[in-house]
C-alpha cells in the first residue's frame, strides 16, 4: 500500500471515527443502538460535524440523516455517499461509521481543495441498518427504496413500542414515508469494513463489491416422540434430533457443492438448532432448525430451498419422524453493484497505487436497498482477522484512508463523465 499524497486526510477521518466511537454505553463498548438516547447523541455529534464542514443538514421522512453540499448544476442530480451509525450490542468502532465518516471526509476534502462538482454531494447516515429490537434491519434505506410495508411499522420491540412510533420519535414522519423516495440519486458509494478475511488473507488493499448476496431463510421442524432414553430400544425410537443432525449434514454438503459451482458467492448455515425437551435422559421429541442461505445467484438459492424442502421431507420419513413445519422466513434477491461505478472505483484504486479485487458481500448492507432505485456501489476495506460485530473489530487507519481516497477519485471521475441521473 502506498500512502503518499492521498486526496483525503486519513488522520482527520480517523480522529472522527474515534470520537464517534467514544459515544457508547460505558459498560458495553461499543454500543450505540438505533432508537436509543445514545444513538441520538451520536447523530447530534454527526450533524454538528456536517455543519462544521459547511453542509446543509436535514432528515428525511424515513429518519435518514443527510449533510448536503450543492453542486453547480441543479439538474445534475445527487451523488450519495454513506452508511449507518447504529451498532449491534457490543459492536465495533468501524462497522457503518467508517462509511459515514468517509463520506464526510470526502466532502470536506472536496471543499478544502476548492473543487466544486456539478452534482450535489450528500453524506447519508441511514436509519437503523443493524437488526433492531423491532425485528427489522436497513430501515432507512428500505424506506428510501419504497420497500417499507405498512405492516412493518406495526412490528413491536419487547417493551411494546411500535416501530412506526420509534421512527417518529427519532425524527421520521411515517405518515409521509413516500416523500423519502428519491429519483435524483445519480450514484451511491458505500465504504464498509469487509467483515471477512479475504482481503487480509491475500494482502489486498481494497475489495470492489460485485453484488450483495440475497438472503433466504427457512425454518424446519421435526416431530418425533419424547420417550425414556433408558428403556426405549434403538429400533423403536422416533428421535427428532437424528433428523435434525442429518439435515445439518445435508445443508453443509450441498452448500459446499454450490460454493464450488462457480456461480458466485454461496454459503448456507444452520444457525438455529433446538431440540426438546433437551434433557439427558429423554429422547428428543421435537427439533427446530433455521437455515440461512446467502447467494449471489438467486436461482441457485431457489434451487437450494427446493432441495431443502424435498430433502427435509425425505429425512423425516427415513428417520421415522414427521416433518411438522416448513416455513420460508425470508427470501430476498441479490443486489448487483453498478458495473460503471465498479469500474470507476477500480480506476481510482489503480491510479492511487492500491491493489484491489472483486468480491461479493455475504452480509447485507444499505447499498442493497439503494441498488433498487439508483446505481449503487461498495468498497470493502480489510479488517483484522475478519472480526466484526465485536469490540475487537479493527481496521487500520491507512486501510480506511485508502478506501476513502478511491471513492474520492471515483466521485470526481463520475462527476466529470455524467450529466444527469438515468
Task: List residues binding Zn ion (CB under 5 A).
Answer: 95-96
Q: What angle do CA 129, 133, 134 make, to 5 degrees?
A: 80
What CA–CA distance (Å, rounded) separates 263 from 302? Answer: 13
Of 378, 375, 405, the residue nearest 79 (C-alpha): 375
Q: Residue 228: exposed, middle, or buried by beta-carbon count in 10 A (0-12, 13-18, 19+)?
A: exposed
State in angstroms the smallest separation of the CB of 344 from Zn ion: 22
Q: Which is nearer to Zn ion, 195 or 210 (CB)?
A: 195
Which residue has cell 438516547? Answer: 37
What CA–CA distance (Å, rounded) separates 141 from 63? Answer: 10
Q: Which is nearer to Zn ion, 6 or 367 (CB)?
A: 367
Q: CB neighbours (10 Å) of residue 403?
A: 33
* Residue 325 φ/ψ, nearest 5 degrees: -155, 140
Is residue 223 within 8 Å of 277, Cβ to Cβ?
no
State in angstroms the smallest separation of the CB of 32 from Zn ion: 12
In eight-state DSSP terms, residue 224 is: -
Bridge partners, residue 56, by sequence: 68
Q: Which is nearer to Zn ion, 207 or 284 (CB)?
A: 207
Q: Which is nearer to Zn ion, 77 or 96 (CB)?
A: 96
State in angstroms the smallest separation of the CB of 95 from Zn ion: 4
Q: Which is nearer to Zn ion, 186 or 363 (CB)?
A: 363
State in angstroms the smallest separation of the CB of 128 from Zn ion: 11
Q: Which is nearer to Zn ion, 76 or 383 (CB)?
A: 383
Is residue 380 within 8 Å of 192, Cβ to Cβ?
yes
**Residue number, nearest CB to Zn ion:** 96
Amino acid at each position: 500500500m502506498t500512502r503518499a499524497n492521498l486526496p483525503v486526510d486519513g488522520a482527520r477521518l480517523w480522529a472522527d471515527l474515534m470520537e464517534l466511537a467514544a459515544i457508547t454505553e460505558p459498560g458495553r463498548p461499543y454500543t450505540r443502538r438505533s432508537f436509543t438516547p445514545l444513538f441520538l447523541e451520536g447523530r447530534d455529534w454527526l450533524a454538528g460535524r456536517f455543519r462544521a464542514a459547511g453542509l446543509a443538514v436535514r432528515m428525511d421522512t424515513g429518519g435518514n440523516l443527510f449533510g448536503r453540499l450543492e453542486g453547480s448544476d441543479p439538474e445534475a442530480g445527487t451523488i450519495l455517499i454513506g452508511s449507518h451509525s447504529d451498532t449491534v450490542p457490543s459492536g465495533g468502532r468501524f462497522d457503518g461509521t467508517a462509511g459515514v465518516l468517509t463520506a464526510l471526509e470526502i466532502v470536506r476534502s472536496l471543499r478544502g481543495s476548492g473543487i466544486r462538482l456539478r452534482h450535489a454531494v450528500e453524506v447519508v447516515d441511514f436509519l437503523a441498518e443493524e437488526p433492531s429490537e423491532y425485528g427489522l434491519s436497513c430501515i432507512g434505506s428500505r424506506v428510501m427504496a419504497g420497500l417499507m410495508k405498512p405492516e412493518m411499522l406495526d412490528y413491536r420491540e419487547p417493551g411494546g413500542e411500535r416501530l412506526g412510533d420509534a421512527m417518529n420519535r427519532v425524527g421520521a414522519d411515517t405518515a409521509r414515508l413516500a416523500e423519502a423516495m428519491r429519483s435524483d440519486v445519480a450514484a451511491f458509494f458505500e465504504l464498509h469494513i469487509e467483515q471477512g478475511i479475504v482481503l487480509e488473507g491475500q494482502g489486498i488493499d481494497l475489495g470492489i463489491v460485485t453484488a450483495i448476496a440475497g438472503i433466504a431463510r427457512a425454518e424446519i421442524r421435526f416431530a418425533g416422540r419424547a420417550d425414556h432414553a433408558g428403556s426405549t430400544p434403538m429400533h423403536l425410537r422416533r428421535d427428532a434430533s437424528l433428523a435434525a443432525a442429518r439435515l445439518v449434514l445435508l445443508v453443509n454438503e450441498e452448500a459446499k457443492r454450490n460454493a464450488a459451482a462457480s456461480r458466485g458467492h454461496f454459503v448456507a448455515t444452520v444457525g438455529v438448532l433446538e431440540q426438546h425437551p433437551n434433557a439427558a435422559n429423554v429422547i428428543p421429541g421435537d427439533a427446530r432448525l433455521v437455515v440461512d442461505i446467502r447467494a449471489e445467484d438467486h436461482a441457485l438459492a431457489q434451487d437450494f430451498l427446493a432441495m431443502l424442502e424435498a430433502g427435509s421431507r425425505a429425512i423425516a420419513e427415513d428417520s421415522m419422524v414427521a416433518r411438522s413445519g416448513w416455513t420460508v422466513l425470508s427470501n430476498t434477491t441479490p443486489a448487483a453493484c453498478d458495473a460503471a461505478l465498479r469500474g470507476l472505483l477500480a480506476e481510482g484504486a489503480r491510479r492511487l497505487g492500491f491493489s484491489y479485487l472483486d468480491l461479493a458481500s455475504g452480509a447485507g448492507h444499505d447499498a442493497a436497498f439503494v441498488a433498487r432505485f439508483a446505481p449503487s456501489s461498495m468498497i470493502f476495506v480489510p479488517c483484522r482477522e475478519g472480526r466484526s460485530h465485536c469490540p475487537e473489530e479493527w481496521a487500520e487507519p491507512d486501510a480506511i484512508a485508502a478506501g476513502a481516497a478511491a471513492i474520492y477519485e471515483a466521485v470526481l471521475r463520475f462527476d466529470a463523465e455524467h450529466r444527469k441521473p438515468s
